[in-house]
């Protein structure tokens, strides 16, 4: 059936998009039908996407390992575990997969009314929030649990991650408007007297859900180091104290014990005693270089729900028997 171009360009764009995406016509066939050139049809399809007349949704399907999920839950007394099979891909692509899996898991939790959710920051949480597709609900509060790294590192910055999450949830934001690390403990004490900081710290104690990446002291996987926020000397100092990873900037050794205490005295973040009282603490991490950090986080009860990949899960269970 012949189609008559409409006087409205948007209607014409929708007609062209429908012929291409739904009817399966080629660009050459569409061009003949509406009496335009193939290159013009190609540009119209691009314009239709730019105007969001055409919206493309990719439904990615994952395979999960129920045996590894049960083993993790039983071994570490977890509320839940999600273990997916990840193909051998680049780190950037892996984070896309991990974020997509985590976003699916989080969706029902984040659509609860009057939820108070606390979040850290980093590339993993950034990928997760990017993949989130949730309905906005009433009364949601989003609390920044860790001081910021600064505007020069927006991909890692706490303010940016918290803002993006709150925007998707339609929630009220409580920022922690201080740096994560300062020059001396006295500066921490001074900043903690600021009213806005005290208000956010109080909200941390009310959180019902915590969303955490799990940081590593492996230089290739460290957010702090790759963001240029901690220099090599500081990273080596953390390693000297046995630190293998961190949750919310709280460093621990492979047994889950807090470590690097002098460093922590200069950091501004949620206190561990407040963190472990959050009822549901979801850790999202995986890939090579993160297994020791994840094991420490599990042993230290920093998290009680883990989202990871099958290779990392297997290595965590193996490493647990050795160390």
Helix (H) / strand (E) containing 189: helix 185-191
User: Is the CB of residue 245 less than 8 Å from the CB of residue 217?
Assistant: yes
Q: Is CATH 3.20.20.70 correct for 66-322?
A: no
* pTM as predicted: 0.81
Between CA 81 and CA 253, with CA 308 as vertex, the angle to 5 degrees is: 95
Q: Which whole-number Å values give the CA distances from 4 to 34, 43, 221, 287, in the listed order? A: 7, 19, 57, 54
Number of other residues whose CB lies within 10 A of the CB of residue 87 = 8
Gap between the Cα atoms of 273 and 250, Å rounded:
11
Burial class (CB in 10 A: 0-12, 13-18, 19+), 4: exposed
pLDDT in tens, 291-307: 999 999 999 999 999 99
Q: Which CATH superfamily is domain 9-50 in?
A: Homeodomain-like (1.10.10.60)
pLDDT in tens, 26-68: 998 999 999 989 889 999 999 988 888 888 766 667 789 999 9
Torsional sign, CA 83, 72, 125, 253? negative
Question: Domain residue spans in the chain?
Answer: 9-50, 66-322
Helix (H) / strand (E) containing 307: strand 305-309
């Amino acid at each position: 059936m012949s189609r008559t171009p409409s006087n409205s360009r948007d209607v014409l764009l929708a007609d062209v998009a429908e012929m291409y995406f739904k009817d399966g016509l080629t660009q050459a066939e569409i061009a003949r039908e509406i009496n335009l050139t193939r290159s013009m049809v190609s540009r119209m399809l691009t314009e239709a996407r730019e105007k969001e007349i055409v919206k493309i949704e990719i439904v990615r399907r994952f395979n999960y390992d129920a045996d590894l999920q049960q083993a993790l839950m039983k071994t570490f007394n977890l509320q839940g575990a999600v273990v997916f099979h990840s193909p051998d891909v680049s780190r950037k692509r892996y984070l896309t997969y991990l974020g997509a899996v985590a976003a699916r898991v989080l969706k029902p939790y984040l659509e609860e009314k009057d939820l108070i959710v606390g979040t850290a920051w980093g590339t993993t949480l950034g990928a997760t929030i990017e993949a989130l597709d949730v309905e906005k609900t009433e009364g949601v509060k989003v609390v920044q649990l860790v001081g910021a790294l600064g505007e020069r590192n927006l991909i890692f910055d706490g303010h940016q991650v918290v803002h993006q999450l709150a925007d998707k949830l339609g929630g009220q934001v409580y920022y922690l408007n201080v740096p994560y690390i300062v020059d001396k403990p006295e500066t921490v004490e001074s900043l903690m007297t600021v009213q806005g900081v005290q208000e956010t710290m109080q909200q941390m104690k009310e959180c019902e859900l915590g969303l955490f990446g799990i940081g590593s002291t492996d230089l290739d996987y460290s957010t702090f180091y790759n963001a240029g926020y901690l220099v090599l000397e500081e990273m080596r100092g953390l390693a000297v104290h046995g630190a293998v990873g961190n949750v919310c900037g709280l460093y621990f050794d492979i047994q889950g014990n807090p470590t690097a205490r002098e460093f922590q005295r200069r950091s501004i973040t949620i206190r561990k005693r407040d963190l472990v009282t959050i009822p549901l603490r979801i850790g999202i991490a995986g890939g090579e270089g993160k297994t020791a950090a994840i094991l420490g986080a599990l042993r230290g009860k920093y998290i009680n729900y883990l989202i990871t990949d099958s290779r990392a899960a297997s290595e965590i269970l193996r490493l647990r028997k050795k160390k």
